Amino acid sequence: MSKKRSQPLITPEILRGAVIGSFTKLNPRYMMKNPVMFVVEVGFFISLLLSFFPGLFGDVGNNLRMYNIVVAVILLITVLFANFAESVAEGRGKAQAESLKKTQKDTKARLLKADGTETVVSSSELKKGDVVMVSAGEIIPNDGEVIEGIASVDESAITGESAPVVREAGGDFSSVTGGTTVVSDWLKVRITSDPGDSFLDRMIALVEGASRKKTPNEIALNTLLVSLTVIFLIVIVTLYPIALYSGVQLQTSTLIALMVCLIPTTIGGLLSAIGIAGMDRVTRFNVIAMSGKAVEACGDVDTMILDKTGTITYGNRLAADFFPVGGACREELVRCAALTSLHDGTPEGKSTLALARLQGEDCGEPQGARFIAFTAQTRMSGVDLPGGRSVRKGASDAIEKYVCEMGGKVPEDLARRVAEVSALGGTPLAVCEDSRILGVIYLKDTVKAGMAERFKRLRAIGIKTIMCTGDNPLTAATIAKEAGVDGFIAECKPEDKIALIKKEQAEGKIVAMTGDGTNDAPALAQANVGLAMNSGTAAAKEAANMVDLDSDPTKILEVVEIGKQLLITRGSLTTFSIANDIAKYFAIIPAMFMMAIPQLGVLNIMDLATPHSAILSALIFNAIIIPCLIPLALRGVKYRPMSSGRMLARNMMLYGLGGVIAPFAGIKLIDMLIHPLLALWGF
């Protein structure tokens, strides 16, 4: 698996762009998208107005003009810091998008016409359904599907992986991406996207944030923050007449300061940055999420469905031996196994043919033979020979059914041989000629290193793992036990995956799965989180809501953790923001009423110097905490696999209790620093 793409938190280019963005985002029409910070901006404009007309609302007191100026400046800084956080997050995405744009070139493409002739056109003129020829050294002009040929393709511009990959017609490795380069041989490609709608175009739009929409959880939290803001706004409005009744003349800037300190400005200023950074983290892991909703869904996954081959095991199941059954001779079994593998381009087929030839079988392709390709439905392949003979190779139960339909009998020792191979963790393939089963091919299958530990991590956070395989139950059980999955489905067909997903979803669970083939497309579309391989078919990538550029099926495990990190980060910083208000109550409320109600002095537990010093200290802390939390918002709260109960308790202790303690210390320190300065100004 490829490593995460590393990038400094803030580069000089990102910093410059973020500073400019902090000011350009002050436009009220833009700020209205973030109601919490819009309220702060309105407070700034009112304070700024009072700086020129101190008595506009009937305020009285000493140095009102200076006090209003100070409050206005602090509020402006608060808004700028919030805009800065969002601009930094966007800048990181835009920096990545710029590197991707460099791969976008208006190249020349060799368009094949219906009559077989070629014409050279610009890649921007290609439409969905066009067929182009691409030879070694040429750039693939747009996304497409290989319909003829086999070639090595350099996808480093997209994936960051320098090693070329093989793309060929048919199977699950036929998809190619526009902007990649053919290194050797040639490919005939059918274009699968219109100009401006390629995978690279969508990828750029996503990392830039141009197509980012607020996720359901983000919308829900934003609604909560707006509700809290409205509540505190009502509290502030009603506080003024209460203060007058108590004989306290509250200044307008003081009420604004109280309101800004009480509303959730910290999380309001960081909420957008957290969402953008979450998408960015997924992208840097070489995974393209089609929406923020997909990333969020990863954090809520309850059930994970994984293919065995290529995900849990290495996937290149190689033929290791032949076991005759029913009195068949070994040479006959080897010959028929070789015949069925002549046109089988899978690793299993190629290794079977190679092993047969190693054992002396040198069969050529018979004249007039008709080869039957493997399908997920039939789970077997083979060849129909001249004279009416048929040879088949496939899953033992599929071959048994085929032979019985032909009127043949299943050898008594077949089940024993299948069980022996399965017990070794291998995959048995039965071979038959007409209605007679000849024997079993032993395919060795090895579980990837570290899979058991990774599934244990998932189990610790309450995620159930289910392995799907076309193997027989005994093989499936052996592999499942070795890998440490929670359950398995043997002899699995595409429709079985869909049925399983629907069953889990009917129980209220969020389901994730991986796939790369056209037969996986319906299941990928049905799952809440569908991770398609970049090497897979166009159908699979269209059906999924995530695409892994490295084509590593096991990456779904890391993607789930990134999704959980996003949810944890948002929840932790929301807890911290709301907890901050507790300290601000003890700073501002006593300062406002202590002169008229001396008994409130008992609430001044921080022993703040003066009412003005207390209010401004709380306001300054409220502003500077936002940039202090930007690194945490961008990097995310570190995720540790544990139960939801333990995770909640830990985060409440760290961000809940920490959110209460930090402002007490911070406001007191700021008060000690600014009190001498305020004394010089006569406050």
Q: What is the pLDDT at residue 104?
A: 60
Q: What is the pLDDT at residue 521?
A: 84
Asked if 571 and 651 count as a contact pair (C-beta separation under 8 A), the reply is: yes
DSSP one-letter string for 15-40: HHHHHHHHHHTT-HHHHTTSHHHHHH
Q: Which range has the worst mean pLDDT, 48-57, 142-151, 395-404, 533-542?
A: 533-542
Q: Which range has the worst mean pLDDT, 176-180, 246-250, 460-464?
A: 246-250
Q: How large a percentage of the chain has pLDDT more than 90?
A: 25
Q: In this structure, which long-range contacts are made by residues 250-253, counting pairs with CB atoms below 8 Å and at least 24 apart in sequence? A: 250/592, 251/59, 251/61, 251/64, 251/67, 252/46, 252/47, 252/50, 252/57, 252/59, 253/47, 253/50, 253/59, 253/67, 253/68, 253/71, 253/72
- Catalytic residue from among 143, 201, 307, 445: 307
pLDDT one-digit tens code per residue, 466-484: 998 877 788 888 888 888 8
> What is the C-alpha separation between 302 and 504, in angstroms, rounded?
9
Q: Which amino acid is at 89?
A: A
| 448 to 2, 159, 309: CA distances (angstroms) | 16, 22, 10
Q: Which range has the worst mean pLDDT, 85-99, 553-567, 590-604?
A: 590-604
- pLDDT-derived band at 655 (thresholds 50, 70, 90) equals very high
For the question of residue 307 being annotated catalytic, the response is yes
> What is the C-alpha separation between 518 and 373, in angstroms, rounded?
15
- pLDDT-derived band at 100 (thresholds 50, 70, 90) equals low
Asked if 671 and 604 count as a contact pair (C-beta separation under 8 A), the reply is: no
> What is the C-alpha separation between 462 and 475, in angstroms, rounded?
26
Q: What is the pLDDT at residue 159?
A: 66
- pLDDT-derived band at 102 (thresholds 50, 70, 90) equals low
What does residue 575 show for φ and ψ, rounded to 5 degrees? Answer: -60, -45
Residue 80 clears pLDDT 90, i.e. is over it: yes
Give the global pTM.
0.71
Q: What is the pLDDT at residue 210?
A: 46
Residue 93 clears pLDDT 90, i.e. is over it: no
Q: In angstroms, how far is the first alpha carbon of the chain from the final one?
A: 62
Asked if 338 and 361 count as a contact pair (C-beta separation under 8 A), the reply is: yes
What is the Cα gyration radius of the chain? 33
Token digits of residue 143: 């996304």
- Choose between 286 and 120: higher pLDDT: 120
Token digits of residue 218: 């983000």
The one-character DSSP state at 6 is P
Which of 23-27, 272-276, 371-375 is modeled with the greatest confidence? 23-27
> What is the C-alpha separation between 673 and 658, in angstroms, rounded?
22
Q: What is the pLDDT at residue 3?
A: 47
3-state class (DSSP) for residue 517: coil
Q: What is the mean pLDDT of the chain?
A: 84
Q: What is the pLDDT at residue 1?
A: 39
Residue 52 clears pLDDT 50, i.e. is over it: yes
